[in-house]
A and B are shown apart, each in its own frame.
Chain A
Amino acid sequence: MPQTYRDPEENLPEWLRALRKRQEEEAAASQPEPPAEEGRTEEPGWLSEIRQRYRTSSLEQDAEAETAALEDTQPRPPGRTESEPIQEPLPEPEEISPFSDSEPVLEEAAPAFPTEEPASQPAFADDPGDETSHPVVPAFSEDPEALGAEMPGWLESLRPDEGFPLEDERSEAMLPESGPLPTGPLADLSDALPASEIGQMGKPPEFSTRLEATASQRQHAAVLKELLQTEQQSAAEGQPPPLPARMLGMIISALLFLAVLFPLLSGSQSADRPEPSFFPEAGRLFNNIDVLPAGAPVLLAFELQPARYGEVAPAAAAVMRHLLDRQARLVFISTEETGPALAERLLAEQFANTPAISTGSYTNLGYLSGGVAALRSFISDPRGAVLGTPEREDPWAAAPLEGIQHLRDFALILVVSGDADTTRAWVEQGAIELPGGLFAATSAQAGPLLRPYLHSDPVTLRGLVSGVHGAVVYERLRGQDGLGRQYWDAYSYGLGSMALLILLGGLYSRLLQAQAEVKPAPGGGSHGP
């Protein structure tokens, strides 16, 4: 059967083609007139020298054997080791075998490797079938002089140094002595570890250590970086803001200060007060307190910080005054460090003359550390969360608190807070233990944030008084003037001044920007087409 012939040139990689082409050009330059009998001007110079070496050393070798021997100087075509049926009678092995004793030429051209040892032979030479179909003739030798040819530079650089173990010797040392040979696709490759040594573990997942950010995230990061750089630059330069900006800031501060201070000093109480009918949440709180029996225990969660004390104090004072008038037993607790001290301050400032306060007929459970976890613990088990201290006797031993076992035993719970988060924590954590909900007196900024809880079903926040505005409403409900009324005119004038300044300042700023947009750039013309 005829054997299909494959031209090895077709399977050459690109880099070898380029190398050959370059060497051909060099050879053409050095040998303008190649020997006519060779007829292989396309071969590189070093290959021609190899051919010449073979020709001069073995005159009796025929051209076919030479061609077959030189085939191994070419890259092996892919699929050579595949078990394809041989379709052509092969030449006799002894005629072309490079290892035959009858071939003196080949003995002379034998490589420096000990060819008698199978391990020193190339892996594909061990395959008998492969050997018969494609006889192996090592055209390269470790000693270039043995071939009488000059090795290419890239191959010379790959040669091991003197004294360094040869690759196959290293491979032998590295491979296990009696381990299984590589199988599968790596069967014929040297230096390949057997798959059984690696095991059957799956490939571990690869996690990228790079930051995976989207385009918008990178854009935001760039803006933030620019802001920080600007901040650091101005701080490093230490330059104060320009004079107009400083003057504007000082003028605004002075106007606000005068607008607030004047009504306070003059004692003015002329500003219109809001109508309570528009604030049903304050009315619900009033109605619940107004029906409390005398001596009813009321828990006040004083979650307040000093910064918002001035704003929350009027609302808290209005409600606490109502509670004290109803002779309720006040019990304070706080998960803020400053809460108990601010509660004492408010009692001392506003209710020092009230009998219940002056006689100490109230209980301050103090600070409860632990944040929301502590709040959860207190709501679940008030007695277990708050214990007696060396400074303070057991607070639960007092007569009004003897009956308190659970949070629902309090007649009313009021959260006094400067921000919405703490109030929200109380509402959410106490939703189970307090089916009737609780009440809150907060700052003006927390009011809108807590409004959704006012309309929830089931009810979690039953009543709300927020800010000076809420304090005035509550005082109108009670028909008494208090801190809210004192602050109301100052609040009104400060609010008006603020709105006016923002309006005028905004118009002035817009005017400046419009002028800057209309004003042409100095020395610049139109950028239009």
Chain B
Amino acid sequence: MNWRVHTPVAAAVAIVSGGLVLASLLIPGLDEARNRVLNWAILLAALGLLLGLANLFRVHWEKLRNRQNPAYSGVLIAAMLVTFAVTLWEGSRAELPSWIFNNIQVPIETSLMAVLAASLTLAAARMFQKRSDRISLTFGIALFIILLGSGPLFGMEIPFFTRTLTPIVSGFLAAGALRGLLIGVALGTLLTGLRVLVGADRPYGG
């Protein structure tokens, strides 16, 4: 059976929902309807999480059956099932789910971030071997200004960087560029919203 929603229906739902939320920001008295629609979105997002979990299980179950890296898929499925069952049984604030989170997930993700710091340092050191043009030189100079102004080096502060040069670079140059970037993001968001509202873009798959 084909469960795919027909395009006109999906487009109509999306346009009406978006138009209602947009109108509620401009017209008083539509707050109740807007909040109801947004609460539906919360429920649907929660349901989407469960569907994503089921899809992840299905994909790795197929890999396990087809023996495509079965060890990784097996560990993932086992960890997922155990964590899901324990959390469902004891609750998210119970001792065992908290232990799993604090002693497995947090150290793993933090370690990956630490490896990233070392990798970026290595990449910056080798940058001039790959490229030595003006862009690289500008990037290197900005990098050093920010690094030297971020704090004391080996315990000693360099006031020229921390109090003069770095605030100028980060407070004027970087902030100005980011302000322009944010305006561009806002315009892009506005345009995307309008395209969805008129049905030109259908990110919902219609």
Contacts and interface: CB of A to CB of B under 8 A. Distances in A.
A451 B92 contact: no
Contacts of A495: 147, 150-153
Contact of B122 (A252, A384, A488, A499): A252
Given A307-B113, A509-B129, A374 B155 contact: no
Interface string A86-113: 0000000000000000000000000000
Interface residues of B, number: 61
A381 to B, nearest CB: 5
A506 B121 contact: no
A371 B49 CA distance: 12
Given A370-B45, A374-B38, A380 B155 contact: no
B46 A369 contact: yes
Interface string A438-449: 000000100011
Interface in A461-510: 468-469, 488-489, 491-493, 495-496, 498-499, 501-510
B28 to A, nearest CB: 12
A266 to B, nearest CB: 12
A385 B167 contact: no
B129 A510 contact: yes
A272 interface: yes
B125 A369 contact: no
A311 B117 CA distance: 12
Interface stretch (B64-72, B174-182, B195-203): B174-182
A217 to B, nearest CB: 18
A186 interface: no
Interface stretch (A24-32, A146-154, A206-214, A338-346): A338-346
Most buried by B among A248, A342, A492: A492
A269 B89 CA distance: 46
Contact of A338 (B105, B125, B171): B105
Contacts of A508: 125
Contacts of A499: 144, 147-148, 153
B38 A385 contact: yes
Contacts of A526: none
A529 interface: no
B106 to A, nearest CB: 4
B92 A341 contact: yes
Contact of B129 (A391, A448, A512): A512
Contact of A341 (B25, B42, B98): B98
A502 B143 contact: yes
B129 A381 contact: no
A513 B129 contact: yes
B2 interface: no
Contact of B35 (A307, A381, A448): A381
Interface stretch (B6-14, B55-63, B73-81, B156-164): B156-164
B95 to A, nearest CB: 11
B162 A345 contact: no
Interface in A365-407: 366, 368-371, 373-374, 376-377, 380-381, 384-385, 391
A306 interface: yes
Given A344-B93, A376-B38, A492-B151, A506 B174 contact: no
B156 A272 contact: yes
Interface string B90-114: 0111000010011001101110110
Interface in A230-260: 248-249, 252-253, 256
A366 B144 CA distance: 41
A272 B158 CA distance: 10
B125 A492 contact: no
What class of interface size applies to chain A in its complex with B? 35 or more
B118 interface: yes
A420 to B, nearest CB: 9
B204 to A, nearest CB: 13
A303 to B, nearest CB: 15
Nearest to B49: A369
B132 interface: yes
Most buried by A among B45, B148, B154: B154
Contact of A451 (B35, B148, B178): B178
A18 interface: no
Interface string A127-140: 00000000000000
B121 A307 contact: no
A492 B34 contact: no
B106 A345 contact: yes
Contact of B128 (A369, A489, A509): A509
Nearest to B47: A369
A355 interface: no
B106 A306 contact: yes
A444 B146 CA distance: 11
Given A253-B118, A340-B92, A496-B154, A373 B129 contact: no
B157 to A, nearest CB: 4
Contacts of A200: none
Most buried by A among B34, B39, B45, B151: B151
A519 to B, nearest CB: 15
Contact of A469 (B31, B132, B151, B171): B151
A98 B69 CA distance: 87
A216 interface: no
A498 B151 CA distance: 12
Nearest to B120: A498
A466 to B, nearest CB: 11
Interface in A267-288: 268, 270-272, 274-275, 278
Interface of B: 21, 25, 31, 34-35, 38-39, 41-42, 44-46, 49, 91-93, 98, 101-102, 105-106, 108-110, 112-113, 117-119, 121-122, 124-129, 132, 140, 143-144, 147-148, 150-157, 162-163, 167, 170-171, 174-175, 178-179, 182
Given A256-B118, A448-B170, A506-B128, 19 more contacts: A253-B118, A274-B151, A278-B162, A309-B110, A338-B101, A345-B102, A366-B92, A368-B42, A369-B45, A374-B38, A377-B42, A432-B25, A492-B152, A492-B154, A495-B147, A496-B152, A502-B125, A506-B140, A513-B132
5 contacts: A310-B113, A499-B148, A502-B124, A506-B124, A506-B140
Q: Which 5 A-B pairs have the closest CB atoms?
A: A505-B125, A509-B129, A377-B38, A496-B153, A370-B45
